Amino acid sequence: MRTRTAVAVLVVMLALGGVAAYGLTQGPSGSLSTEWVSDTSRANEVNHHPLAVGTLDGEPLVVAPVSSVAGPDAKCSFVAFDATGATRWTHDVDESACAIHGIGDVELADATGDGTVDVLAPTTEEVLYALDARDGSVTWTANLTAYGYAGPTVLTDPERVVVQPDTAGVVFGFDENGSTLWRHDLDEYVSADTRSVTLGDGRRGVAVGSSGHVTVFDANGTVVWQDAARATWLETAEIDGERSLVASGGSSVTVFSVNGTERWERDGFKRPALHDVVDGDGDGVKELYLGSGGDTVAALNARTGETEWETTLSTDANILPAPVVGDLDGDGETEVVAATNDGVVHVLDAESGEVMASSERDVSVWVHPTLADLDGDGQDEILVMYGDGRVVALSYEGDR
């Protein structure tokens, strides 16, 4: 296990007429630069739902759930951007319902079966939206029993079903027109994004993580299995050739096979935030990348749960959103990106945990970044949703 501390020498510049300050850092083996900043600010620092990135008519589409605090000036909006950060369209949520969870986690998928992508997300209006990704117009809405936090999943086999939980723990299955096919009450808080799974007999199902359990449903709403676990975050992964589910939350990380058998569990973490399970160091065994506490990034062996490395970042932040991984400089190797709550984005070496570059903005970050190759150059850009509602696109240049 390695522990390293990021030490940054900051060069500060003002952006957007002095609205925000950015520090660009040349690390030991790379640097970060700002590509664009969205014009979507709110007078708060509460935005904490992630961006969604997809493709529309062959071009990148970035959708941000921009929320606000409740009040007379509240404005919650779905905002769609192109690859350059220019706004394609905006869809506003009812002002009377706008709040810090105004728009939940967004999913881009074909909900209607017409072959084009839809923008799906729950809101504090206690509905699930299906928006036309081309212009943001409403295709349909479906009623929930409470506001939604987690994002939905669209199953297409044996029939098209949009599965959406709300925070009261009611899980809905909607058809392609938004009509209710089934519902199941978990009676637990749900914040983990739903995940599509392939069951042991080849059927498609969906996994839902809640405050006390992981529950797997088949497409018709029947519970296939349920097991106890804190699942604030939930991901799928192939581990040693076995389809698996990884749940994290509270102080624990638990890995299940897709049939519900527990593979391993580890405790002793502080708010372990999870997003990616990949072979980051190329050794043939996948790693599970965690953000823990306010300052710790860890790589766990996905087969055993053992810590491969751990990095402590220089920060006084309260939380660390989940790290994400991708190829940032097009060299075929993986980098890890971790954004701390105090507004610093770090790039780490996936093999050692060494910090290679950092970028600072004096605004809180509450949710994991999103990686996507927006300009088609073979290098992933880093898209960060800041608490003030702005989206910032960063690019990384490494030494080759």
pLDDT tens, the chain, 400 aa long: 333 333 333 333 333 333 345 555 555 679 999 999 999 999 999 999 999 999 999 999 999 999 999 988 899 999 999 999 999 999 999 999 999 999 999 999 999 999 999 999 999 999 999 999 999 999 999 999 999 999 999 999 889 999 999 999 999 999 999 999 999 999 999 999 999 999 988 899 999 999 999 999 999 999 999 999 999 999 999 999 999 999 999 999 999 999 999 999 999 999 999 999 999 999 999 999 999 999 999 999 999 999 999 999 977 788 999 999 999 999 999 999 999 999 999 999 999 999 999 999 999 999 999 999 999 999 999 999 999 999 999 999 987 5
Going by their DSSP bridges, the two strands 153-155 and 161-165 should be labelled as antiparallel
Taking each continuous run of H as one helix and of E as one strand, the counts in the chain are 0, 34
Q: How far is CA 128 from CA 140, 162, 221, 363, 385, in A?
A: 8, 10, 18, 29, 22
Question: Phi and psi at residue 95, in whole multiples of 5°?
Answer: -60, -35
Q: CB of 206 within 8 A of CB of 216?
A: yes
Per the domain annotation, does 376 fall within a domain? Answer: yes
Q: What angle do CA 60, 328, 398 make, to 5 degrees?
A: 145
CA distance 229 to 215: 10
Q: 3-class DSSP state for residue 168?
A: coil
**CA gap 156, 204 in Å, rounded:** 8
How many angstroms separate the CA atoms of 259 and 224, rounded? 8
> In which residue are the tokens 């604030």 written?
232
Q: What is the pLDDT of residue 73?
A: 85
**Position 20: which residue type?**
A
Query: Is residue 17 domain-resident?
Result: no
Q: Does residue 24 form part of some domain?
A: no
3-state SS, residue 95: helix
Q: What is the pLDDT of residue 260?
A: 96
**CATH number reported for the structural domain that contains residue 176 in this entry:** 2.130.10.10
CA–chain centroid gap for 206, Å, is 17
What are 394's strand-pairing partners? 34, 382
In a domain, 158, yes or no: yes
Q: CA-CA distances (angstroms) from residue 396 to 109, 142, 347?
A: 29, 41, 8
Rounded-to-integer distance, Cα 298 and Cα 321, Å: 12
Residue 141's H or E segment, with its range, is strand 138-143
State the virtual CA torsion across 238, 240, 244, 250 in degrees, nearest 10. -110
pLDDT at 9: 30
AA letter at 339 = A
pLDDT the model gives residue 186 = 98
358 within some domain? yes
Answer whether residue 122 is part of any domain: yes
Contact 400, 29 (CB under 8 A): no
Q: With beta carbons less than 8 A apart as the criterion, state whether 258 and 264 touch.
A: no
Within a domain: 4: no
Report the number of distinct structural domains present in the chain. 1
The residue range of the domain holding 187 is: 29-398
* Three-class DSSP category at 256: strand
State which amino acid sits at residue 348. Answer: L
Sign of CA dihedral 155, 157, 161, 166: negative
Residue 6 lies in a domain: no
